[in-house]
Copies of this chain bind each other. A is one copy, B any other.
């Protein structure tokens, strides 16, 4: 059990005049959810540093004998899909492999789909007359991206160009997955640290290709569409930056979103309108690699190397071309600093103790 230490009531984190703040409920108009910003529940900045640092407790282990993802242990892995092997290098730099325990099956399956939903999340069964009759076969792909050959390297240790190579590997794999006409959506994600879900410490990410459009993606499209219908503009092209800005690069901006679900949540948004992550080119990938590296280093130094999740939010493959005007991909980073409790599970509404303006200020001003 955690101790029952009183929280530093009333004070916003990281300075910035949070002292007199009252709670506020904000609507995330990209993801369609309410978030409660609650200064009375904020801890002092030092308390918000992660209690689950991923760097302590793990001895530096440059080549683990048992790690299936290490260079030389390829035989411990499920089959390779492709590798990146620079001509000037003696070994591979990254590999995309099948997941040994895949959530979905690569084989077309015998289960009879009784009902396949269309892209709109707000529509459910139209053919089934009883609760619980909606299912589709668990067809899909589940891959692992081994981001570096050595156990000691984390994503933030790679150069911008090397991180760019990881991003381009996602792109290459997404383009392959797009050729399966029953695949609707691809989720790229990374778990770093045990409490963010990582079961292996060797730096890796995952790619899951789904035969359905998940609720979060269709809710996003609905929100973006509504904004477009009201304003004629893309919600994320128009994003208000002001005091939410963290850093910028040639092609991307990084912000703490106005209604951040989690403390110190970060979005990296392409400046130019783009619906699909897989439209990223080589130059933009390196540029994004540099910005991502900077933000991961800032999080690590400011928040005690916390566990984190990284997600790429792109647009479903088979979408009406008219929707491309208002769908805009972005990358989300979520440090794991708080615990989800019954209120969040029950309502889908999160309590965030840190105002986004305060989090952005801290991350903008970190000295590395």
Contacts and interface: CB of A to CB of B under 8 A. Distances in A.
A342 B222 CA distance: 22
Contacts of A135: 24-27, 259
A104 B39 CA distance: 9
Contact of A1 (B7, B124, B194, B235): B194
Given A212-B34, A214-B347, A226-B123, A129 B66 contact: no
Interface in A172-209: 185, 187, 189-191, 193-201, 206, 208
24 contacts: A2-B199, A4-B66, A4-B68, A4-B199, A7-B101, A22-B105, A23-B137, A24-B135, A27-B124, A27-B135, A36-B138, A37-B138, A40-B105, A103-B343, A122-B222, A131-B227, A131-B239, A132-B244, A132-B257, A198-B341, A206-B343, A208-B343, A214-B347, A311-B346
Interface of A: 1-4, 6-7, 9, 22-27, 29-30, 32-34, 36-38, 40-41, 54, 58, 66-68, 100-105, 109-111, 115, 117, 121-126, 128-138, 185, 187, 189-191, 193-201, 206, 208, 210-212, 214-217, 219, 222-223, 226-227, 230-231, 235-236, 238-240, 244, 257-259, 309-313, 332, 334, 339-343, 345-349, 351
